[in-house]
Amino acid sequence: MRPERHFRSVLALVLASALGGCSGLPGLHTPPPAPRTDNRSDDGDTVAAVFVAGSFQNMQHLAQAAPAEQAEIFAAARDAYDRSPQGSAKLRYALMLAAPGHPARDPALADRLLRELAAQPETLQPIERAVTLVELSQINAELELKAENDKLSQNSEERSERERSAAVQRRLQNEVDENARLRKQLEDAQAKLDAIAHIERNLTQRNAPNSGGQQ
């Protein structure tokens, strides 16, 4: 999938999940948010929304930037995660790992981090939980497809190896058969030469007394 389509797809799913709840994602569930008692929840949602928007901007920038800038963006996310390997920093690092179009991409590690976040929803704001579940769903689909392709490729390689081995065996057998045919021809030729030599000796022996008597 092209990076632009990936970001648009994730964003659309996040918005749908945030509006309609995340329980519609197959196999993924998140607890309902706790009831709000003051304006601090609204402030947290606002901060989380700004964080998510910034994360998606970084993901898109990461896919389009030059290699040196890609390394800088990715290193910043990794350093933030190393300092605080949980919550928002962990989510951002997982999103950078999942973002297509850069050499440091690691879907398997992103999948592991997102699963850990999904198992600890209390460390995230609702919109962050939605992003986690949506991205996890997409990564799961990608890894499953890759596993199927790898299996097909392995089967194809094994079949090709068997075919190459069979071809080598056929060539070896052809060489053995050809050597046997040449050996048989050589033995036949040698037998003929031996027969001719035997006839010549017999003729020589027969003619030898006659030659002596004539002298």
Give me the residue label for tokens 């993924």.
Answer: 28
Among 2-16, 37-51, 88-102, which range has the highest average pLDDT?
A: 88-102
**Does residue 66 register a pLDDT over 50?**
yes
Residue 44 has a pLDDT of 67
| % residues pLDDT > 90 (the chain) | 28
**Does residue 37 register a pLDDT over 70?**
no
Residue 91 has a pLDDT of 93
Residue 15 has a pLDDT of 47
Average pLDDT for 15-24: 44
Residue 28 has a pLDDT of 40
**Does residue 172 register a pLDDT over 70?**
yes
Distances (CA, A) of 90 to 51, 96, 121, 169, 190: 12, 10, 12, 55, 85
Least confidently predicted of 45-49, 117-121, 182-186: 45-49
Contact by Cβ (8 Å): 27, 80: no
Residue 33 has a pLDDT of 44
Average pLDDT for 147-155: 84
Least confidently predicted of 32-36, 88-92, 106-110, 152-156: 32-36
Three state DSSP letters for the chain: CCHHHHHHHHHHHHHHHHHHCCCCCCCCCCCCCCCCCCCHHHHHHHHHHHHHHHHHHHHHHHHHCCHHHHHHHHHHHHHHHHHCCCHHHHHHHHHHHHCCCCCCCCHHHHHHHHHHHHCCHHHCCHHHHHHHHHHHHHHHHHHHHHHHHHHHHHHHHHHHHHHHHHHHHHHHHHHHHHHHHHHHHHHHHHHHHHHHHHHHHHHHHHHHHHHHHHC
Least confidently predicted of 26-30, 54-58, 94-98: 26-30
User: What average pLDDT does the chain have?
Assistant: 77
Is pTM beyond 0.75? Reply is: no
Higher-confidence position of 174 and 82: 82
82-132 pLDDT per residue, tens: 999 999 999 999 999 998 889 999 999 999 999 999 999 999 988 889 899
